[in-house]
């Protein structure tokens, strides 16, 4: 009897043990201060041989746990190691929060993943603070140009405007430290007013899926963020000094940050960049100097359940425009374009004369957040921007030093966002925003206003939700509505007014007539709907598949609507069209990503159908009292862009690796069945990288950049009458330059010069063999070659 009883108890014990050891512990690893997820955190159960790592979404899972109390140790880069006790009596979901610290002040290298992803179903490209260190004296466009699928529209070497998957200007949204930049971005030669030394991290989203930021990002969104500040009693900083041979100048920038354990912090940063005339391999590019300076400050408090931050930045940039691009009559125009060298080559100088730009940008932001239990994170933000743009043409007499274009743009925005992000299966982000904008064109320039006075009001509301169907399969959907109202005061020449048939289409907007000038008051309204739907499927630990469809709607910008005159720094006459409708883009993309310590890649094909695509093209040459200028005119058409971006990396040994980038985009005018103008040519970049952490963190990179000839382009050539010879001469503004191949070399190493001080020394050589070339996307390629060899030395002190 006792034997049977013993066997019964033993079986019951075994059954009980089996029943109570099937429990699972799961959840997320989250940043304590902003609730962003932390991928790559390591979790270890003390006393058991159980460990796991948080995934792409910060999620972790322990399975086959028995009932009991466990001690879990959690670690993550730049976080203090934390231990938590957890009582398991069934399947349990538990989120753990970590507090970020900079463990070594001499190595401020925050991982890009720390900043979290902006979307769930679009593959995002990131540039970390450590990568940014190499570009201290570069522009934002130069930095982004290192990514696949991202190129640039240049006006010489100093004005660099990013292009994403073939589109640029108002189709690219730039978010600077949480603020959408409003800096007259409509101009092809208007570079973003951002000092790259204020940036801690850059994320590029190739598509309109980031509806939180915008609904009109036909090409994509560029998000720049400041470095995170630790919650501890400390003071640290860094200073960059860069010197370069081409332009015979350099850059200096310094940042100092003070933080406290109670959450208070402050940071101050300043930069100055000065270069003289740049040089091609064979001659000086006269009047291409740059003088840039900026200062920024942050102050705030960051607590567990609330925080407040105030931010201010001042940015001023004076940029010379190649003197040879502004010429006189028709014969000079033809001669300049057909010549192999610039018609004007002067001695080197640091002086910046007309033609030039002088841009000043002020930005102020105050942001507050509150974590509300059972609701989520509520964020309120107000920002103010003032952008003052002066453009100087070559003028004589009393007006020689007077700006030909003087625009002042003031923008005020308020937004309220809610991020629920408190369940594993469903997350919702929603918000509203309102913006008021006023542009004033100074009439004292004595030149016809290219952009008129106007007021613009914008209201937007959005919602984005993601659903975890399974542990491996996620769906994201979102929608956004934007309303725009533009109230402008615009003078038209009566000849232009009648030529466009405006007198019959818009008679109600005429205010008064002054001789051959018609004063009008256009009041335009646009209601735009944007949307996104996408999926992300995690095939296994190595492979992830992204698929996304996005609808972007973009209202015409003031330049596309109202331009009617000489755009001085662009050296061309531009003509807009009051009849334009909103542009609608339907983009579909798929990305296959493979992660791996030895071999990794991402392949991203896409297609973008854009209805009512607004394009500007050259149409003729027109003689004015200030010289001979090309006429560029806006029109609407239906366009199709399709392309492919590839990134790959291969690790040969512990110290030696290889990377590859390839980008292809084809743009077509579906209405005229012609190629689109200014499409990036096919390009590929390959590089060998040698790293040795044991040898002063030595890094040597040899990079090969090959740009193919653009073989698909519209024929916009035209003939100009030459009075001197009484003949017509062909003006070739269409034929692209030849393909070219450039080599670049980058090296850097770290040297400890104190207990908490490190010196990083870098040497870079661009265009190693001093190759002559002309970039199809450089608007000044008609007049001069691009930059020759440039040797730069970069010194960074972290303390």
Residue 112 pLDDT greater than 50, yes or no: no
Strands (E), 469-598: 473-493, 510-514, 517-520, 523-538, 543-554, 564-567, 572-575, 583-594
Q: Which helix (H) or strand (E) element contains residue 760?
A: strand 757-766
Please give the pLDDT value at position 548: 93
Please give the pLDDT value at position 473: 92
pLDDT bin (cut points 50, 70, 90) of residue 410 is: very high
Residue 226 per-residue DSSP state: P
Number of Cβ atoms within 10 Å of the Cβ of 610: 27
Output phi, psi for 553, to 5 deg: -120, 125
**Planar angle of CA 625, 627, 632, nearest 5 degrees:** 105
The predicted-structure confidence for 299-331, as pLDDT tens digits, reads as follows 999 987 899 999 999 999 999 999 988 776 667
Q: What is the mean pLDDT of the chain?
A: 87
Please give the pLDDT value at position 116: 59
- Enter the tokens of residue 692: 């040795």
CA 217, chain centre distance (Å)? 11
pLDDT bin (cut points 50, 70, 90) of residue 627 is: low
pLDDT bin (cut points 50, 70, 90) of residue 532 is: very high
The predicted-structure confidence for 533-568, as pLDDT tens digits, reads as follows 999 999 998 999 999 999 999 999 999 999 888 776
Residue 2 pLDDT greater than 70, yes or no: no
Q: What percent of the chain has pLDDT over 90?
A: 53
Residue 522 pLDDT greater than 60, yes or no: yes
The answer to whether 51 and 44 have CB atoms below 8 angstroms apart is yes
CA 502, chain centre distance (Å)? 38
- Enter the tokens of residue 452: 């008129």
| More confident position, 55 or 577 | 577
Please give the pLDDT value at position 137: 79
Please give the pLDDT value at position 152: 87
Domains of the chain: 2-98 (2.60.40.10), 124-221 (2.170.130.10), 232-798 (2.40.170.20)
What average pLDDT does this structure show over 589-608? 93
- Enter the tokens of residue 348: 């080197």
End-to-end alpha carbon distance in the chain: 79
Residue 13 pLDDT greater than 90, yes or no: no
In this prediction the pTM is 0.85
Residue 106 pLDDT greater than 50, yes or no: no
The answer to whether 32 and 74 have CB atoms below 8 angstroms apart is no
């Amino acid at each position: 009897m006792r034997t049977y009883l013993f066997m019964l108890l033993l079986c019951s014990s075994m059954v009980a043990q089996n029943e109570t050891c099937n429990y699972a512990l799961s959840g997320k690893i989250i940043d304590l201060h902003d609730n962003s997820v932390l991928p790559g955190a390591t979790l270890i159960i003390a006393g058991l041989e159980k460990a796991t790592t948080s995934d792409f979404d910060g999620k972790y899972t322990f399975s086959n746990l028995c009932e009991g109390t466990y001690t879990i140790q959690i670690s993550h880069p730049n976080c203090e190691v934390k231990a938590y006790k957890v009582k398991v009596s069934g399947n349990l979901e538990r989120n753990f929060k970590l507090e970020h610290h900079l463990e070594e002040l001499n190595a401020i290298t925050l991982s890009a993943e720390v900043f979290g992803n902006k979307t769930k179903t679009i593959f995002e490209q990131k540039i970390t603070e450590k990568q940014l260190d190499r570009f201290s004296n570069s522009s934002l466009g130069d930095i982004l140009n290192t990514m696949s699928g991202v190129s640039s529209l240049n006006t010489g070497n100093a004005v660099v405007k990013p292009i994403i998957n073939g589109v640029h200007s108002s189709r690219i949204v730039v978010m600077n430290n949480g603020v959408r930049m409003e800096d007259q971005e409509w101009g092809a030669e208007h570079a973003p007013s951002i000092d790259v030394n204020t940036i801690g991290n850059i994320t590029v989203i190739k598509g309109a899926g980031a509806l939180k930021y915008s609904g009109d990002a036909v090409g994509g969104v560029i998000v720049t963020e400041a470095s995170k500040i630790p919650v501890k009693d400390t003071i640290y900083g860094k200073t960059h000094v860069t010197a370069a041979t081409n332009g015979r100048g350099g850059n200096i920038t310094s940042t100092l940050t003070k933080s406290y354990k109670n959450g208070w912090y402050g940071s101050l940063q300043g930069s100055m960049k000065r270069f003289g005339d740049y040089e091609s391999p064979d001659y000086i590019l006269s009047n291409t100097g740059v003088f840039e300076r900026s200062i920024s400050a942050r102050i705030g408090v960051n607590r567990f359940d609330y925080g407040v931050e105030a931010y201010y930045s001042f940015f001023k940039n004076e940029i010379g425009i190649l003197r040879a691009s502004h010429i006189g009559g028709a014969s000079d125009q033809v001669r300049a374009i057909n010549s192999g060298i610039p018609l004007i080559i002067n001695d080197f100088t640091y002086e910046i004369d007309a033609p030039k730009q002088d841009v000043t940008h002020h930005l102020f932001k105050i942001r507050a957040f509150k974590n509300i239990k059972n609701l989520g994170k509520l964020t309120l933000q107000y920002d103010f921007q003032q952008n003052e743009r002066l453009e100087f043409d070559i003028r004589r007499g009393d007006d020689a030093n007077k700006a030909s274009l003087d625009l002042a743009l003031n923008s005020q925005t308020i937004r309220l966002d809610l991020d629920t992000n408190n369940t594993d299966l469903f997350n919702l982000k929603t918000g509203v925003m309102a913006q008021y904008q006023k542009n004033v064109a100074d009439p004292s320039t004595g030149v016809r206003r290219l952009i008129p006075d106007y007021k613009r009001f914008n209201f937007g509301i959005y919602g984005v939700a993601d659903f975890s169907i399974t542990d491996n399969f996620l769906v994201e959907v979102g929608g956004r509505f934007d309303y725009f109202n533009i109230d402008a005061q615009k003078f038209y020449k009566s000849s232009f007014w009648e030529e466009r048939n405006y007198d019959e289409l818009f008679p109600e907007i005429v205010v008064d007539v002054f001789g051959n000038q018609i004063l009008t008051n256009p009041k335009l309204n646009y209601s735009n709907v944007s949307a996104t739907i996408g999926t992300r499927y995690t095939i296994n630990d190595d492979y992830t598949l992204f698929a996304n469809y996005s609808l972007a709607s973009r209202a015409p910008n003031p330049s596309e609507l109202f331009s009617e005159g000489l755009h001085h720094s662009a050296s061309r006459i531009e003509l807009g069209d009051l009849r334009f409708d909103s542009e609608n883009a339907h983009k579909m993309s798929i990305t296959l990503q493979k992660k791996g310590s030895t071999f990794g890649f991402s392949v991203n094909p896409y297609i973008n159908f854009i209805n009512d695509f607004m394009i500007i093209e050259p149409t003729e040459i027109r003689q004015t009292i200030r010289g001979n200028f090309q006429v560029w005119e806006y029109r609407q058409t239906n366009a199709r862009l399709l392309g492919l971006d590839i990134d790959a990396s291969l690790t040969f040994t512990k110290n030696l690796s290889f990377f590859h980038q390839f980008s292809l985009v084809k743009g077509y005018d579906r209405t005229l069945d012609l190629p689109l103008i200014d499409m990036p040519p096919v390009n590929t970049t390959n590089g060998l990288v040698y790293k040795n952490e044991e040898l002063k963190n030595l890094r040597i990179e040899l990079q090969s950049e090959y740009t193919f000839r653009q073989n698909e382009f519209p024929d916009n050539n035209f003939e100009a009458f030459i009075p001197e010879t009484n003949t017509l001469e062909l003006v070739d503004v269409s034929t692209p330059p030849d393909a070219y191949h450039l080599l670049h070399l980058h090296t850097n190493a770290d040297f400890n010069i104190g207990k908490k001080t490190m010196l990083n020394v870098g040497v870079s050589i661009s265009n190693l063999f001093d190759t002559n070339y002309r970039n199809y996307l450089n608007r000044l390629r008609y007049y001069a070659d691009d930059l020759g060899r440039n040797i730069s030395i970069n010194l960074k002190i972290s303390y």
